[in-house]
Amino acid sequence: MSNKTNKATALKYDPDKNLAPQIVASGDGYIADEIIKIAEHEGVFIHKDPKLINTLSKLNLYQEIPEELYQGVAEILAFIHKLETQSSLSEE
């Protein structure tokens, strides 16, 4: 996730290990640019939401997202899942 103020945060969700998605990378300026560059190189979906990134960027590394962000992040994860499903169906 990124925004115009040059911030980026990467989330990971492993339901077997965590109750909620957690921050696995976060930064601004050059670090944000590198997070985005790596995500693009790896084909990771990038979602731009200034309000969400400002909240996520205040969290600590490996911290699970707070409950008030569940709905917004769940919608993004559902969208990504839909894209992945459509992609796998088109490959068959």
Spatial separation of the C-alpha atoms in residues 81 and 62, rounded to whole Å: 22
β-bridge partners, 58: none
Residues 6+ apart with CB under 8 A from 32: 2, 6, 7, 8
In a domain, 44, yes or no: yes
pLDDT at 84: 82
Q: What is the pLDDT of residues 1-21, one digit of tens each?
A: 544 568 999 999 999 999 999
What is the full per-residue pLDDT of the chain (92 aa) written as tens digits? 544 568 999 999 999 999 999 999 999 999 999 999 999 999 998 999 989 999 999 999 999 999 999 999 999 989 988 888 887 777 76
In a domain, 79, yes or no: yes
Domain that holds residue 42: 7-91
Q: Which of 16, 20, 92 is nearest to 56 (CA)?
A: 20
Distances (CA, A) of 80 to 29, 43, 85: 26, 12, 9
In a domain, 70, yes or no: yes
Total number of domains in the chain: 1
Report the SS3 class of residue 13. coil
Q: Which CATH number covers residue 27?
A: 3.40.1690.10
Against a cut of 0.75, is the pTM above it?
yes
